[in-house]
Amino acid sequence: MSRSEPGIGPAGGRVILHDYWRSSASYRVRIALELKRVAYERVPVDLVAGAQRSADHLALNPQGLVPALEIDGKVLTQSLAIIEYLDDTRPLPALLPADPAARSHVRAVALAIACDIHPVSNLRVLSRIEALAGAEARAAWNRENIAAGLEAVEKLLRYPGYTGAFCHGSTPGMADCALIPQLYNAERWGVEYRHLPRVSTIAGNCAKLPEFQAAAPERSSAGPGDT
């Protein structure tokens, strides 16, 4: 829950996030909402129990995924699209830089995580691998995928003007919203990343910020749908 008046966003009206506490995509949006100071209510969607396939949830998100964000009289899906909407409608603090080349690079880092690492490590894929080849194959697949993906992200972060604080510049943005949930998953699966200097520096800097602390899965677990 945001630290502002519960459930009321700066543009007015209730803001409701349908999410699962350990979902990387949901975690990204929680970070963005906290950074934007948008207060929101949470409706847990228990992915393990299959609540994402319920008729009510499919009416919000036909893909049967989380998150889904009710805001400004709309229902938004896909985490990075939601973050860009928040940046377009609530410009400060900016989550994307003004310079076109820098914006492209920040998007590239975020997409490398959200579209290349995350999709082949999500619950649907891992459950299928376990069904076909067993729990050990599931774990090996996930660790190898996350480790290789983070190595590539480290290299992507080596661009001119990198300050060492966040993925771009001296304030967190969309790429940081994507990176921190992926590092949470890395830790869950025992994937080491502290040998990656830029990734490690960013992780440490984000960990100090109350917005990232408030969005963390353990802080966001509440109720029977968050077990």
Confidence band, pLDDT 50/70/90 cuts, at residue 222: low
Asked whether residue 225 is domain-assigned, the answer is: no
Buried/exposed 41-50: b ≥16 CB within 10 Å, e otherwise: ebbbbbbeee
* H-type alpha helices, 23-134: 24-35, 55-60, 79-89, 100-111, 123-133
Query: pLDDT value at position 161?
Result: 63
> Tens digits of per-residue pLDDT, 141-178?
889 999 999 999 999 998 776 667 899 989 999 999 99
Question: Does one domain contain both 120 and 70?
Answer: no
d(CA 75, CA 125): 26
* The total number of structural domains that make up the chain: 2
Asked if residues 19 and 67 have their Cβ atoms less than 8 Å apart, the reply is yes
CATH number at residue 196: 1.20.1050.10
Question: Does one domain contain both 191 and 120?
Answer: yes
Question: Does one domain contain both 140 and 88?
Answer: no
Asked whether residue 68 is domain-assigned, the answer is: yes
- Mean pLDDT, to the nearest integer, of 130-142? 88
Q: Which domain holds residue 87?
A: 16-93+213-220
Q: Which amino acid is at 185?
A: N
Asked whether residue 42 is domain-assigned, the answer is: yes
Asked whether residue 3 is domain-assigned, the answer is: no
- Least Cα distance to 82 among 94, 93, 67 occurs for 67
> Tens digits of per-residue pLDDT, 28-59?
999 999 999 999 999 999 998 999 999 999 99
Residue 74, classed as helix, strand or coil, is strand
1 to 35, 132, 143: CA distances (angstroms)? 12, 39, 31
d(CA 36, CA 190): 31
Query: pLDDT value at position 158?
Result: 85
Using only C-alpha atoms, the chain has a radius of gyration, in whole angstroms, of: 17
Highest mean pLDDT among 48-62, 80-94, 130-144: 80-94
d(CA 187, CA 152): 17
Average pLDDT, the chain: 90
| Lowest-pLDDT range of 70-74, 163-167, 223-227 | 223-227
> Tens digits of per-residue pLDDT, 180-192?
999 999 999 999 9
Asked whether residue 181 is domain-assigned, the answer is: yes
Asked whether residue 10 is domain-assigned, the answer is: no
Asked whether residue 227 is domain-assigned, the answer is: no
Question: Does one domain contain both 86 and 110?
Answer: no
